[in-house]
Amino acid sequence: MFKTYDVIVVGAGHAGCEAAHAAATIGSSVLLITMDMGRIGQMSCNPAMGGIAKGQILREIDALGGMSGIVSDLTTIQFRMLNRSKGPAMWSPRTQNDRWKFTEEWRLALERNQNIDIWQEMVSSLIIKDGRACGVKTGMGLDINAKSVVLTNGTFLNGIIHIGEKQFSGGRTAEKAATGITEQLISLGFEAGRMKTGTPPRIDGRSLNYAIMEEQKGDENPDKFSYLPITSPATIQRSCHITYTNEEVHDILKTGFEKSPMYSGRIKGLGPRYCPSVEDKVSRFADKDRHQIFVEPEGWNTVEVYVNGFSTSLPEDVQHRALSKIQGFENVKMFRPGYAIEYDYFPPTQLNARLETKLIKKLFFAGQINGTTGYEEAAAQGLMAGINASLAVQEKEPFELQRSDAYIAVLIDDLINKGTDEPYRMFTSRAEYRIILRQDNADIRLTKKGHDVGLASNERLNLVNVKIQSSEKILEEIKEMKMPLELINTFLRNSGNTEVREKTSFYNLLKRPQIEISNLKTINEETKRYFDTINKDVLEQVEIHAKYDSYIEKEQKVAESLKKIDFIKISPEFDYRKVHAISAEAKEKLTKIKPDTLGKASRISGINPSDISILMIHLQK
């Protein structure tokens, strides 16, 4: 019934979709197995993509040739560029999305790829031969053979849903859990753990009073995620709204604490620290008399509303009573209550940088199975696992990124070297090269790499080459462009800036924090005509380089100097016990994790610079 596939991808969430698309695009035959074809690419929690650091990841996925940015653009109902008041390293694009259109666009994208087949069923175990993944067994007893397998099981592995004192098996609401895989992997020597996440109740928007809430509109001139011209910025947008909890809401929530699975000890897994439940916020931040609630529409043509900031697993009657005391929610109607879900994960120190397991060859993990949280983190891992699963089958060199290349590399490097015992979420603070890793230049950083591996199209490469050449040309031109002194000083006086004593270039003017290219357009008609003919993405690159070139250059030099130890290889058979001068903790962790380069060894938690120096000397000998 089934042929032998190059790659089987188990699970069709954000990680699975990107893995299947990537592997198929670079030439592998792929079988994507999901328990429900109607929920491919499902937005299980909030109907939004991007945000702080996550928006950078989405731009990187798009630059490499992935699909998440395109799907997000096609389903956008609101776009906002966050952190505009800060420097460009912190700017982060975010969209509100139509939940149902998002799923539809992902399914259509996968169905258009001739190398992808789809099968609807649960996978109960893996086929392992001679220490290598060779396929899967399904719940109906089918054996499907493959040359590599990517597991992207999300919250489904032995998932348990909690609502108050009720608990039942499930991977998502109204969907059954997946069983068998965890037990098999443990029997093969893998270490497993439990994590927890949660979701808020879904609300009937017709029962809300938006007039007394704060309206949050999208950007006046919205942007988009994808660098390709096949998508366009939203021309019409839907507003979100903001309201707040209050002390009466908190008092009602407290009445349910004794029935809360989190406080009663029924939930053992750790939840995401940076996205706590509302009862956790009330308990941990008892000094605060209110917490912000974002009221987010679920799509264009639905009244369903996502209550961002009110994730909870309290009894449903407590949820409803508390919601009704929030301003604008006085007559609230619930479609379904919030819940917590507990699931299995596998500590990611058991993987190498390709996201391949160290114990079983040709077996790759991506997404929440690795202890991460968030659509974007999952999609990034899926993309990298899909690429590497395909390359492994083709017996080609693996595809890896350095920390100075991408947030995606920071994510993977953190996971495999530091591990995580709580759901890992990406932040800009995790990246030491934030000025280089901006959302505006992901195509410049990564499209050539994506093209070389066969994922990014020729069109993408041509577009980025034009962008690079145009930016360099305009930079050189504005370094030479000078206006009459009187005209420049008139402009500076009118804009509240200090005058100059001699002619100065536009480049030097742009170095001033208060002056932007939009200001230079106002000097006269000549400057306006000049800048109006230039693509806005090119102008953005020019302005950023003018203002931050010294910082960018400094960070690039640091990155280059540190890259040297990333290319010092360590054999997996290396015996750290023979290096007597390094600490006992270093020996233990290095022996367990087995980093394949000295750079990766240096980023393992508990490894000191002195350990690395001693190890470097030993390796050189």
For residue 130, pLDDT beyond 80: yes
Grouping H, G, I as helix, E, B as strand and the rest as coil, residue 481 is: coil
Question: CA 594 to CA 569: how far, in whole Å?
Answer: 11
Could you tell me the pTM of the whole model?
0.94
SS3 at position 88: helix
Work out the angle between the directed axes of helices 54-64 and 375-393 (0-180°, nearest 10).
30
User: Can you tell me the mean pLDDT for 314-324?
Assistant: 97
**Structure tokens belonging to residue 244:** 């707040």
Q: How far is CA 201 from CA 164, 298, 299, 339, 399, in A?
A: 13, 12, 16, 8, 41
Q: How confident is the model at residue 284, as a pLDDT?
A: 87
CA 129/CA 412 separation, integer angstroms: 27
Which helix (H) or strand (E) covers residue 133, if one does? strand 132-138
* Percent of the chain predicted with pLDDT > 90: 80
pLDDT of amino acid 174? 83
Q: What is the pLDDT of residues 41-80, one digit of tens each?
A: 999 999 999 999 999 999 999 999 999 999 999 999 999 9
Under the banding of pLDDT at 50, 70 and 90, the label for residue 608 is: confident
> 192 and 180 in contact (C-beta within 8 Å)?
no
* 490-533 confidence digits (pLDDT tens): 888 888 888 888 889 999 999 998 899 989 888 889 999 999 99
Provide mean pLDDT across the span 254-266. 83
Of the pLDDT bands very low, low, confident and very high (cuts 50, 70, 90), residue 584 is confident
Task: State the Rg of the chain over Cα.
Answer: 26
pLDDT at 82: 97
pLDDT (average), residues 591-610:
88
Find the mean pLDDT for residues 420-443.
Answer: 94
* Of the listed ranges 136-150, 199-213, 265-279, 319-333, the one predicted with least confidence: 265-279
Across the range 575-602, mean pLDDT stands at 89
> What does the block give as tokens for 581?
């001068």
pLDDT in tens, 365-402: 999 999 999 999 999 999 999 999 999 999 999 999 99
147: CB partners within 8 A, 6+ apart: 4, 5, 6, 7, 134, 362, 392, 393
What residue has token string 């619930």? 334
- Which position has the higher pLDDT, 391 or 481? 391
Per-chain mean pLDDT for the chain: 94
